[in-house]
Amino acid sequence: MDSLESLTRQITGAKDLNSIVRTMKAMAAANIGQYEMAMESLGDYWNNVSLGLVAYLKHVRLENQQNSKSTNTNKSEKSICAIVFGSDQGFVGQFNDALSQYVQDSLSTHEGTLEIWTVGVRVPLLLKDMGMLVTKEFNLPNSINAITSLIGSILVQVEKNRESGSIDEYYLFHNHLVNEGSYEQEKLRLFPLDEKWIQEKSQLKWPTQKQPQVIGNSNELIHRLIREYLFVTLYKTCTESLASENLSRLNAMQRAEKNIEELLDEIGHTYHRLRQSSIDEELFDVVSGFTALKKDEY
């Protein structure tokens, strides 16, 4: 049976842990808001890129302007690259496990060569345990300001592969928010731009009565627009993943806080019962001693 001293130490430790959990909750909530604002700020930038693509699509078919190096038709099998965004830190529930399982299920039917790039140190460990080969690992940004550097590193590698023709298609795997309290896994084709994407962008309307025109080298223009598209898509994917990670951590901390409060309540009741029992025993000893002294007087 625990002593009063042992219960006191447990209560003190639980309160200290609860303080840490509340701090992590506050940080996760603040980070979610920060990353959501970053995603919203991409709206105007992405709109301009989309309008540029609309202007181009009115003059040239995009699929015919792809650089021949990006797709090697002489290959007997298709090669794809899966870029998986995970987390560096723990306390995120099933964030990495569910994503890793989703990646495995999505790529299980793929025939041909496969490369997997990961962002964050926890996802590659899970993918390797599943028997999948991770060829490149990128560090997860620790702040909103470091996302641009990560995207730049990924785009440099993508450009190298495009020049060599070693990869035919790129897909993004990440968690994204679906509502205020949950997230889900998503697979997104990054490159090359498929016919469905082209049709969606072709339906966008120019905001003014003046019709846009393509001036200068059209091939150079579309390559620049595609680079901007890749940058914005990767940036959005990274911020969505980070927002989902912090949501998962917030949910985990809320569960932890509830468990700690229940534990404190249970330990508190035990402490008070034990303390009352100890007080009763002391009073009984005092009464017994007083009664014995009274008998001795008589």
CATH number of the CATH domain containing 83: 3.40.1380.10
Whether 274 and 168 share a structural domain: no
Give the model's pLDDT for residue 284. 79
State how far the Cα of 268 lies from the Cα of 251, in Å rounded to an integer.
Answer: 25
Whether 281 and 245 share a structural domain: no
Whether 174 and 48 share a structural domain: yes
Strands, E, within the chain: which ranges? 80-85, 114-119, 136-138, 169-179, 182-191
Whether 84 and 118 share a structural domain: yes
Give the model's pLDDT for residue 166. 81
Max CA distance (Å), the chain: 121
Encode pLDDT of 228-253 as tens digits.
889 999 999 999 999 999 998 898 88
Going across the sheet that includes 80-85, the strands are: 136-138, 114-119, 80-85, 169-179, 182-191
Whether 190 and 292 share a structural domain: no
Give the model's pLDDT for residue 281. 76
Counting other chains too, the contacts that 112-116 makes at CB distance below 8 Å and 24 or more residues apart are 112/77, 112/78, 112/79, 112/80, 113/77, 113/78, 113/79, 113/80, 114/79, 114/80, 114/81, 114/82, 115/79, 115/80, 115/81, 115/82, 115/167, 116/81, 116/82, 116/84
Residue 27 sits at the vertex; the CA angle it makes with 26 and 29, to the nearest 5 degrees, is 65
The range of the structural domain enclosing residue 206 comes to 28-250
Considering its fold, how many domains does the chain have in total? 2
Whether 78 and 204 share a structural domain: yes
The 10 Å Cβ neighbour count of residue 21 is 21
Give the model's pLDDT for residue 201. 66
Whether 211 and 91 share a structural domain: yes
Whether 43 and 87 share a structural domain: yes
Whether 69 and 205 share a structural domain: yes
182 has which bridge partners? 179
Whether 113 and 198 share a structural domain: yes
Which tokens sit at 246?
């912090």
Model pTM above 0.85? no
Encode pLDDT of 164-219 as tens digits.
888 888 999 999 988 767 899 999 888 877 666 667 666 667 777 776 777 777 77
Whether 195 and 287 share a structural domain: no
Low-confidence residues of the chain, pLDDT below 50? 62-73
Whether 66 and 211 share a structural domain: yes
List C-alpha distances in Å: 223 to 134, 159, 164, 170: 29, 11, 17, 17
Give the model's pLDDT for residue 21. 87
